[in-house]
Structure 1
Amino acid sequence: MVVRRGRWGRLPGMVSALTSCLLCAGLCAGLCARTAAADGTADWRIEDMGVRDAWDAGLTGKGVKVAVIDDQVVRDYPALADADVTYRLALSHGDSCHGEYDKGRTMSKRDMTLGTADGFNMTHGTDMVALIVGNGKGYDGGAGIQGIAPDASVIAYADSFPTTGPIGGFFTGEGCMDADGNNAGQVESSVTDAVDSGARIINMSFGGGGENWYYPQAALHALRHGVILVSGRNNSTDAGLYDLVGKPAYTQYFPGTVTVNSLARDGTVSATSDVMDGNVSILSPGADTPRYNYTGDRDLVFADGGTSTAAADLTGYLALAVQKWPEATGNQILQSLVRNTRGNDSGEARLDGEHRTGVRRGGPAAPAVGRPDGLSGREPAAGVGGQGQRTGTRRPRACTRSIPDWTDTT
């Protein structure tokens, strides 16, 4: 995480939650409806984390542009029916690409999404987008994924083909290759396009694969423009580096990236990634969260969403903060975030081996983002806040292009 010294405003306590579901019934829909599974399991990433208080204060992500880089999205998933989502395919060159193993699978700049008619009811990318901007509606009139910032604008970049079966985990996606059989370079091209398109936050809920030395120039381009990069660490108990030093050739560890680990409702790190990792910046809800286990599923369940969900949830929380403080730089938002964590009243970021800078303050075990310093004359912000992380979908690419010059100053 990029650190900037200075004084940072702090956040007052959250206002009380909505008093009763009965008061909501018949008076409003959508955001007023409690989110829960059929068995009554609460969507704690919303109910416990101060999100309803933010909505009640008018913070829904409206006016904030977010980019999500992931596999193809199912465009007719009901929770995305009224969401502001633009679909794009950003390639390093050309207008289309084909599957790494199945050349019959193609994507083009005119057609990069999936539909239920293609045999997919859910994909990893669909899940990540819905966690940010979903309306809570599912298939067959059932519950679906509710987004944390439902009025945000999303650019969904397709970077791979999903495979049928389990969602998330190792090798559950297929890369998209150019006519010469090389990786089409969607990640770095997507990051660059997102920055140039005005995105304030870029979510990358993936990891693993080999080094990508084409990525650093795109990441630097984002950071120089104040864009917040969010990524989850791998869903594994393999220890990371002891110190927060970064790994420039990896999207999840590029210096300045907000690397997220998954939090359980009881405040512990999720079992699937419970390990010391010095490059993790913060924790976010990932366990016992809404998801679909398989690409053919139509019924929502609550299970371990892993670091993918944790990253997407953090992106949603940050979108609420950016709406409240549109003049704040990305660094100001992040510095305020890490200085306003549960149990930390020092006004400075504190690190520990397990929780890193911690869990964001707010309601019970809730996140918060305080007023960034330098925005004088404005009131403090209202508080805001497995589906396994995709791994192994990216392979080390052949050096068919020259390594970029990192001195880009655009």
Structure 2
Amino acid sequence: MRIPAIHDSGITGDGVTIAVFDGALNPEIANLQGVDLEVRQLDACPDPLAAAASDFEALQHGTSVTSLIVGNGTSDSGVGPVGLAPGVRILYYGSLQEGCEGNPFPAALADAVAQGADIVTMSGGNGRLVEELSQKSADGVAAALRAGVVVVASLPNADSTWEGELGKINGVVNVASVDATAQAAKAQDGSPMTNDDVDVVAPGVDVAGVGWDRTWGMSAWSGNSAATPIVAGLLALAKEKWPDATASQLLQSLIRNTGSAPHELQWSNTFGHGTVNATRVIEEDPSQYPDENPLFTDGQVPTFDEVFAETDPLSTGAPDPSEERVSGVVPWAIAGGVLVAIAVVIVIMISRRKSGGHDNV
């Protein structure tokens, strides 16, 4: 993905805030020292910092996701994961821990929006959340999109027991994975994984992580969970490079500048719109694209009008965070404040059909 060249040009995600929704976290590891990371506590979930450092099963997933965004390149074994956007501010929510009660997603999302998140990334989920997927979740995504927040979510792996709770919610970037040769990750029978909700694919096979070998040195891991923070990090780099671009224009650029060469917009249930291309997304000015979120499908919620209809200018449109309190704990190396300007725009509805390709995208 030629990320070092982008970093060398001075683009690191500085000034951008990413909210990470995952499990427990170990912020004490070498790889996360010096990063701008704040853990937000959800009343419905255990403290994500409570797990012992030796509880690798609880910590490896969320810690590895975070390292792919802001990792400093070190680990207990020397070299470690280098984050795609090491300059971003991270808001961390332990919303996918096993001990969470009910569906903590709406409260976490509302707090992330209120705290100035530009991008929300969630790698994983479980059947309980799917069963409890409510209008509150759809309303929360609608409010986030209306506020100019990009929501990125992983699709289930071939051997997953959970379903993607955000896969059927409009406007979300649904991510699957490819290997180092840009071939689709394999299902259990050896065939390429497919999903009718995939939007883009990113590296997710044998990528750098921590904790997977039961040490806090660098180790390899695989899955759509690994590809998702890579997409979130790339969007953060693009947002820093093109600060005047809207969230919808960044998504337009993400799906139009895939692969190794310019091409017409396309889609398949294996690669979605294609493999993300960091160089092209950074080089291409997103303002050339329509200010229209391209990830809406007829028959799914929220509807386009529910998200982008004109609202009371005195209302933020966000769910009331007081319904389920979220408080900040342990602000790790917090940097300066972030000023977020929110613009509500009127856009034209785009219809996307996932079966047999996309029309009028």
What's the TM-score, normalizing by structure 2?
Answer: 0.71
Alignment match, 1:175:
99
- Describe the SS at the equivalent of 2:240: helix
Q: Equivalents in 2 of 1:354, 1:289: separation in Å?
A: 20
- Describe the SS at the equivalent of 1:252: coil
Alignment match, 1:83:
35
Q: Equivalents in 2 of 1:216, 1:372: separation in Å?
A: 27
Unpaired runs of at least 5, structure 2: 290-305, 312-316, 318-361
1:336/1:369 contact within 8 Å kept: no
Report whether the alignment pairs 1:156 with 2:73. Answer: no
Report whether the alignment pairs 1:350 with 2:266. Answer: yes
Which amino acid letter does the alignment assign opposite residue 127 of structure 1?
S
Report whether the alignment pairs 1:189 with 2:77. Answer: no
Alignment match, 1:143:
79
Q: CA deviation at 1:336?
A: 1.1
Q: CA deviation at 1:314?
A: 0.8
Structure-2 change in CA distance of 1:287 and 1:118 (3 Å):
closer
Q: Equivalents in 2 of 1:374, 1:341: separation in Å?
A: 16
Find the structure with the greater CA-based Rg. 1
Q: Which runs of 4+ in 1 moved over 6 A?
A: none
1:337/1:370 contact within 8 Å kept: no
Structure-2 change in CA distance of 1:332 and 1:205 (3 Å):
same
Q: CA deviation at 1:278?
A: 2.0
Q: Equivalents in 1 of 2:270, 2:55: separation in Å?
A: 41
Q: Equivalents in 2 of 1:253, 1:313: separation in Å?
A: 21
Alignment match, 2:233:
316
CA RMSD across the alignment: 2.7
2:19/2:119 contact within 8 Å kept: yes
1:276/1:354 contact within 8 Å kept: yes
Q: Give identity over the alignment, percent.
A: 30
Q: Equivalents in 1 of 2:194, 2:96: separation in Å?
A: 30
- Describe the SS at the equivalent of 1:253: coil
2:14/2:87 contact within 8 Å kept: yes
Alignment match, 1:331:
248
Q: CA deviation at 1:362?
A: 5.1
Structure-2 change in CA distance of 1:261 and 1:222 (3 Å):
same
Alignment match, 1:123:
60
Which amino acid letter does the alignment assign opposite residue 59 of structure 1?
I
Report whether the alignment pairs 1:66 with 2:18. Answer: yes
Q: CA deviation at 1:272?
A: 4.2
Q: Equivalents in 2 of 1:310, 1:369: separation in Å?
A: 21
Alignment match, 1:383:
none
2:185/2:205 contact within 8 Å kept: yes
Which amino acid letter does the alignment assign opposite residue 250 of structure 2?
I
1:283-298 equivalent positions in 2, closer than 5 A: 283-292=201-210, 294=212, 296-298=214-216
1:359/1:367 contact within 8 Å kept: no
Q: CA deviation at 1:207?
A: 3.0
2:210/2:217 contact within 8 Å kept: yes
Unpaired runs of at least 5, structure 1: 1-48, 98-105, 162-173, 178-182, 239-246, 376-405
Q: CA deviation at 1:259?
A: 0.4
- How many residues are aligned here? 284
Alignment match, 1:271:
186
Report whether the alignment pairs 1:203 with 2:140. Answer: no
Q: Equivalents in 2 of 1:231, 1:84: separation in Å?
A: 22
